[in-house]
A and B are shown apart, each in its own frame.
Chain A
Amino acid sequence: MTNDYQVDKVGEFLWQRFVGDGLKNYGVLERTYVNAFLATSDDWAATVNPDDLDRVFTTAELTSDPALAALRETQANARVAFDDPADWRRERANWSVGLAINFISATPYVFAQEGR
C-alpha cells in the first residue's frame, strides 16, 4: 500500500485516513507540504530556503519551477524510516508523521464533507 514506506504513498495513506475523500482534494499544495514533513522532518519552506521561511508557494510555481519540481520529486520518492534499525531514526519518522497529521488536520477539507 505504501510501497515500502515511500513518502508520497505514506502521505496519501494519511490523507485518506483523516480526510477520506479518495484523494480528490490532495492536490499539489497539500502533497508538497505533507511530503516535506515526512521526508525531512522539516517544513517545505525550510527545505527550499532556510532564510526565507515565510515564502508562499503557489501550485503554478511548484509545478513549473524546475528546481522546486525536482525537490518535490526527491522528497516524494524518499522513504520514511519506519523500519530503520536505528531507534532515533524510527523516532524521527514518528515525529514526521505527527507533523504531517497536524498539517492535514488543519486543512479546510477536514471541516466539511462533500456529497452528504
Chain B
Amino acid sequence: MRRRDFLKLTLASGVAGLSPLTGRRAEAAIANSIAPPRQPIVVFIHLAGGPDLRYLLPPAFDSDPASYGYRYWQVKAAAHGLDPVDPAAWEQRWINDYRGYAANGADFGILNRAGWLQNMWEAGNVALVNNVIGGVSRNHAHCQLILDQGNVDSSPQDVERSGWGGRLAQFCGGHVASLTSTPRNFCFGAVDGQPDSRTDAPLIAIADSRNIALYQPAPGDERKGAGEVARSLKAYYAAKRQEMAADSVFRRFVDHEAKARQFGDQINAALASEPIPPAIEALYQGDNTLTSTYFGLQIRNLRDSLALANTLNLCALSMEYGGWDSHKGQKDFIEPKLEDLFGLGKGLDTLYQEIPREVADKLVFVIAGEFGRQLKANGAGGCDHGRGNTLLVIGNPVNGFGADKVSTAYGDMFPLEELDRLDQKTPDINGQTSIEPVLARVCDYVAPGAGNAVFPNHALRIVEPGVDLDGLLG
C-alpha cells in the first residue's frame, strides 16, 4: 500500500470509528453534581524523566533512503525494538502500530496504544507544539525545576522560586490544587508578585481527595488507639482555642487546626454525594488497574477536584507521571506509560467518560517533560538525554470551539536539518520555541492578561519562525 493511501484509509477509519469524547459511559449516570467550572482550568501533567514524545508521534515511514521518514526509522529502530538494517520491519511497525495523520506539511503517526489521543486529534482538540525548549543542561532535576517554575533562567540552585501554576492561581485570585503525593514546584506562588520568591499561599494539597480531612474515628472505633488520640486532640484544641492568648506564637497552629478541620469537613460533605465512578476506581484498584496506580489515583483526585472546582476556586491543577528515562529497552519501558495516559479506557479517556461535556469544555491539559531525547537510539535499545521536545496542549478549547476545527502542529515536526547532525555524537532536537511563550498563551486563555503576569519575560524568549500561537486556544 502506498503511504498516502494508507494515511487516507486510517484517517477515514478513525473518523468512522470515533466514539464520543465525553460522557460515553454516562449520560444518565453523569447527570451528576459536577457543575461546570466558572473559569477555564489548566491541568499540567509533568512527565518527569525526559519522555521521547517523538516515539509517540513519529514520522510516517518513507521508503526513500534520503527522506526523513526513512532516516528516522533507521536511527531509531532499536528504540522501537527493531533491527536497524531491516526497512521492511520498520514499515510493518509503522503500519501495524501507528495511525497516520498530516499536519503542518508533515505526515506523522500517533501510537495505536494512544487511542484516546487519536480520537482527540481527530476531534480537533490537540495542538502539538514542536521543538519546544526549557532547560538545556540535560539534567533531570534542573530541567524539571525550569519546567515547573516556567523560568528558563533558573539555575539548579534556584529551588526557592515560584511556579507558573502558583503564579497563575494568584493572578486569578484562586488556587492551584496539587494532586500528587508531594506538591511540585509548579504549585508555589510568588510573594508580593516577585517571581523569584515562593509561598504556598495559593496551594491546596489534594494528594488523596477522599482522605483530606483530619482523622476522625468511624463509629465503633472511638475507643481504639487512633480514635482515642484523635478525640483527645480535638477536645484539647477546642479548649486551647478558648484559652490561648491571641498574641501567642503558637496561636496560628491552634487556629490552623480549626481551619483544617472545617475545610476537611466541607470537602467530605461535598464529596459524600459524589460517589467514585467504578471505571475511575478501577484505574487504581482491582484486577485491571493502570500500570501506574499512582496516576490512577491522581485521575480520581482530578475528577473530585473538578467537582470542587468552584468551591475551592481552582484555576490550575498539578499532576505528574514519572519514569520516562528510557536509556535502555525503550519500547517496553515507555509504551505502557503512554497507554496509561492516552489509551482507550485508560487514564484520560476514562476521566473524559466520567465528566459532562460542559466540564470538559473548561479543561486544558498541558503535557510535557523536562527535555526530549536524542535523535538516535543508543546501543541498549534506548535513547539518551536530549533537549528539545514536543509539548502537547489537549482539550475541547484547543483550536477553538468551531465545528470544523482541526488539530494543529506548531513548528516543524521533523526539521530536515536534523539529518545533517545524525553523525554527531549526541544529536538532539534543536529547541526553537521557549516554553515560556507557549505557557503564557495557555495562561492568557485561563485568565486574560495572565500571560504577562505569570511569565514576565516571555516576550524576550525565542519562538520558531512561522509559529503564531494566537489560535492555540479559545
Within 8 Å CB of B243, what residues of A? 29, 58-59
Report yes or no: A56 in contact with B235, Cβ–Cβ below 8 A. yes
A51 to chain B, nearest CB (A): 11
B31 contacts partner chain A, Cβ-Cβ < 8 Å: no
A8 contacts partner chain B, Cβ-Cβ < 8 Å: no
Report yes or no: A29 in contact with B236, Cβ–Cβ below 8 A. yes
The interface centre, meaning the residue of B225, B232, B242 with most chain A CB atoms within 10 A of its CB, is B232
Which among A70-78, A82-90, A99-107 touches the partner chain? Answer: A99-107
Q: How far is the CA of A18 from the CA of B375 in the complex (A)?
A: 55
Q: How far is the CA of A58 from the CA of B241 in the complex (A)?
A: 10
Within 8 Å CB of B250, what residues of A? 25, 108-109, 111-112
Within 8 Å CB of B254, what residues of A? 108
Within 8 Å CB of B236, what residues of A? 29-30, 33, 103, 107
Closest to B257 in A: A108
B238 contacts partner chain A, Cβ-Cβ < 8 Å: yes
Interface bits B143-181 vs A (CB < 8 Å: 1, else 0): 000000000000000000000000000000000000000
Report yes or no: A44 in contact with B232, Cβ–Cβ below 8 A. yes
Within 8 Å CB of A54, what residues of B? 231, 234-235
Closest to B244 in A: A108
A63 to chain B, nearest CB (A): 12
B239 contacts partner chain A, Cβ-Cβ < 8 Å: yes
The interface centre, meaning the residue of B234, B236, B249 with most chain A CB atoms within 10 A of its CB, is B236
Report yes or no: A43 in contact with B232, Cβ–Cβ below 8 A. yes
B297 to chain A, nearest CB (A): 26
Within 8 Å CB of B238, what residues of A? 56
The interface centre, meaning the residue of A103, A106, A114 with most chain B CB atoms within 10 A of its CB, is A106
Q: How far is the CA of A70 from the CA of B228 in the complex (A)?
A: 22
Q: How far is the CA of A95 from the CA of B234 in the complex (A)?
A: 21
Report yes or no: B253 in contact with A43, Cβ–Cβ below 8 A. no
A42 contacts partner chain B, Cβ-Cβ < 8 Å: yes
Within 8 Å CB of A103, what residues of B? 229, 232-233, 236
Question: Known interface pairs A43-B232, A54-B235. Does A112 touch B225 (Cβ–Cβ under 8 Å)?
Answer: no
Report yes or no: A56 in contact with B228, Cβ–Cβ below 8 A. no
Question: Known interface pairs A108-B254, A112-B249, A114-B249. Does A43 touch B242 (Cβ–Cβ under 8 Å)?
Answer: no
Q: How far is the CA of A6 from the CA of B362 in the complex (A)?
A: 63
Q: How far is the CA of A58 from the CA of B228 in the complex (A)?
A: 18
Q: How far is the CA of A33 from the CA of B229 in the complex (A)?
A: 9
* Contact among A55, A107, A109 with B235 in the assembled complex (CB-CB below 8 Å): A55
Q: How far is the CA of A106 from the CA of B225 in the complex (A)?
A: 15
Report yes or no: B231 in contact with A53, Cβ–Cβ below 8 A. yes
A93 to chain B, nearest CB (A): 14
A14 contacts partner chain B, Cβ-Cβ < 8 Å: no
B222 contacts partner chain A, Cβ-Cβ < 8 Å: yes
A34 to chain B, nearest CB (A): 9
Interface residues of B in 206-251 (CB under 8 A from A): 222-223, 225, 228-229, 231-236, 238-240, 242-243, 249-250
A68 contacts partner chain B, Cβ-Cβ < 8 Å: no
Q: How far is the CA of A14 from the CA of B412 in the complex (A)?
A: 66
* Contact among A45, A58, A98, A112 with B232 in the assembled complex (CB-CB below 8 Å): A45
- 29 A-B contacts, Cβ less than 8 Å apart? A29-B236, A29-B239, A29-B240, A33-B232, A37-B232, A42-B228, A46-B228, A50-B223, A53-B223, A53-B231, A54-B231, A56-B235, A56-B238, A58-B239, A59-B239, A59-B243, A95-B225, A98-B225, A99-B225, A99-B228, A102-B225, A103-B233, A106-B229, A106-B233, A107-B236, A108-B240, A108-B254, A108-B257, A109-B250
Give 15 A-B pairs besides A50-B223, A99-B225 with Cβ atoms closer than 8 angstroms.
A33-B232, A37-B232, A44-B232, A53-B231, A56-B235, A57-B235, A57-B239, A58-B242, A103-B229, A103-B232, A103-B236, A108-B250, A109-B250, A111-B253, A112-B253
Per CB-CB distance, the 9 closest pairs between chain A and chain B, nearest first, are A108-B253, A43-B228, A108-B250, A56-B238, A102-B229, A56-B235, A43-B232, A111-B253, A33-B232
